[in-house]
Amino acid sequence: MALIGRVGGRHRLLGSTGGPVGVPADALLERLRRRILAADRALAEALGIDQAGVVADLRRLECVTTQAPVLAVIAATDRIVGPLAAVAETAGWQVRPLVIDGAEILQVATALADRRVDAILAGASEPPGADERGLIGELGTLVAAATERRPDLVTVLAGGLASPGGRTEALFRPDRPGPTVLAPSPADDGGEPLRALLDSLRGGQDDGRRALAAAAGSLARVLRRHVEVLEIGQSGGSRTLASWQPGAEPSVRTAAVARAALLPRPFTEADLDDVIGWLPIALDRLRTRDRLREMASAPWGDAAADGAALRLAAARAAAGRLLALTPSFDDLPAPDLVIASGGAWLAAPATATVLAVADVARRPGARAVGLDHARVLAPIGTIVDEEERARLVADLRDDLLVPLGTVVTAAGLRAARTAGTLTVHGVGGPLEIDLVPGSVELVDVPPGERATIELQFRDPVDLGVRARHLALDVTGGLGGLVVDLRDVPLRLPDRLEPRRELLASWQALVWPGFDL
């Protein structure tokens, strides 16, 4: 919940707050209004929000993120269902893969008829391969039978099943209320056309994740930068990369991933292992599971002390799933700015969040990191008119994000006592630091300040480009400059105790009061 007002001829973010379900939005708005009034009465009077109740009539930009609907993905063989499910996973659906080959027909039909299934995606390769030809008929009749039980069921036929007027489409009753949609193959254009179609079918006009992607595009245009947004929320996560090029509209690639929820459904033992693997504190496995279960039902609770560490560990695990399920993004231009968005990142002090992002988004190079602290990007993305949206983003460019700092990640360092030196030319004069492979170096560069850094390595390393000597301009932030000389990808000890100690030593650098 945030209040935006016109101050000095442009829009400014006046304040933000939040609260759990069960707290009326008007109560939160009133809290904000009271605070603005207490902080600057003249401003409140000028904006006409000095009286109780007036904020209820203000124009609102609203969006929601809801639990992902369930998509049954069915194909003749594992070979076909894998790519279909992989694309569907990035389109905001909770995916249940089903395979005909070797399965009991009754089990498959029961799974398709399950009341929790919202839509079915059936597919075949184009043309159908030898391993699936004998099963295509079975596949078509089972899916058509499911739509006879539930005539309103949305059904998507992809790839080899999607020929208009073809044998499979003819199995579906044309007069049923639910649509039968013919879709491209997951192999077409990296699966993007199929992903976009599936995303459009899951409904939700005011969907927060689609809105966030639109806002990221506007931000890239305003900042003239490649912007990546990593959003982790209670019901899912999303990854958006908005690329800017001179003289062209920003291109926006986005993926909404239900499995990237802070606590995905179902929450498996492997998911629990992932969270425990990021915990810098010792917590009993059973108790950790119980606390996570409580966190799922009361997301705003248990947010202090070790609860904050537990939440940030869950956020890291969720971000790891998000990145693993969107590998095609790694082929796009590297972002200049990474934005952490969503409630999961707000659990810890902002400085700890910058390291959490660096832990999971491990791409060699330098990038600024910001936090969508007021969570206003997504609501702004609901503005349909691109120009109006960009104007608002331009007005708010200094308020939208909390600058967390700049992360410089170097890969390909050889094990040695020292790999080179870092020289920071900042306001306080030059500062020289030894670069130790495997370490994280922090340099205080406050928000709003810029510094020039020189990295001098003994051997060539990967900094986005392969070089021994590099000079960069970096921006400051609450976490300052983070020079990350750890492995890419990050390698941690397998045994829990040394792993925890290592994580705790890094955490202590960036988390004031972490000695829980």
- Interacting residue ranges for other proteins, rule: CB under 8 A: 17, 19-24, 26-28, 30-31, 35, 105-106, 109-110, 113-115, 137-138, 140-142, 144-146, 148-150, 286, 289-291, 293-294, 297-298, 300-309, 347-349, 511-514, 516
Q: How far is the CB of 16 from other proteins (least distance, A)?
A: 12
3-state secondary structure 316-370: HHHHHHHHHCCHHHHHCCCCCEEEEECHHHHHCCHHHHHHHHHHHCCCCEEEEEE
Q: How far is the CB of 176 from other proteins (least distance, A)?
A: 10
Comparison of 64 and 324: residue with beta carbon closer to other proteins: 64
Comparison of 274 and 302: residue with beta carbon closer to other proteins: 302
Comparison of 214 and 340: residue with beta carbon closer to other proteins: 340
Q: How far is the CB of 210 from other proteins (least distance, A)?
A: 28
Give CA–CA dist 338/229, Å, rounded.
6
Give CA–CA dist 355/514, Å, rounded.
14
Helix H or strand E segment including 217: helix 208-223
Q: How far is the CB of 444 from other proteins (least distance, A)?
A: 17
Q: How far is the CB of 446 from other proteins (least distance, A)?
A: 18
Q: How far is the CB of 94 from other proteins (least distance, A)?
A: 17
Comparison of 280 and 364: residue with beta carbon closer to other proteins: 280
Radius of gyration (C-alpha) of the chain in whole angstroms: 25
Q: How far is the CB of 145 from other proteins (least distance, A)?
A: 4
Spatial neighbors of 270 by CB under 8 A, at least 6 apart, are: none
The one-letter amino acid code at 475 reads: T
Distances in whole angstroms, Cα of residue 22 to Cα of each of 26, 29, 60: 12, 14, 20
Q: How far is the CB of 170 from other proteins (least distance, A)?
A: 12
181, 197 contact by CB (below 8 A): yes
Q: Give Cα 468 to chain centroid, integer Å.
A: 33
Give CA–CA dist 262/434, Å, rounded.
37
Neighbours of 476 (CB within 10 A): 23
Comparison of 35 and 391: residue with beta carbon closer to other proteins: 35
Comparison of 177 and 513: residue with beta carbon closer to other proteins: 513
Comparison of 360 and 510: residue with beta carbon closer to other proteins: 510
98, 73 contact by CB (below 8 A): yes
Comparison of 90 and 353: residue with beta carbon closer to other proteins: 353
Give CA–CA dist 377/363, Å, rounded.
24
Give CA–CA dist 249/244, Å, rounded.
7
Neighbours of 105 (CB within 10 A): 11
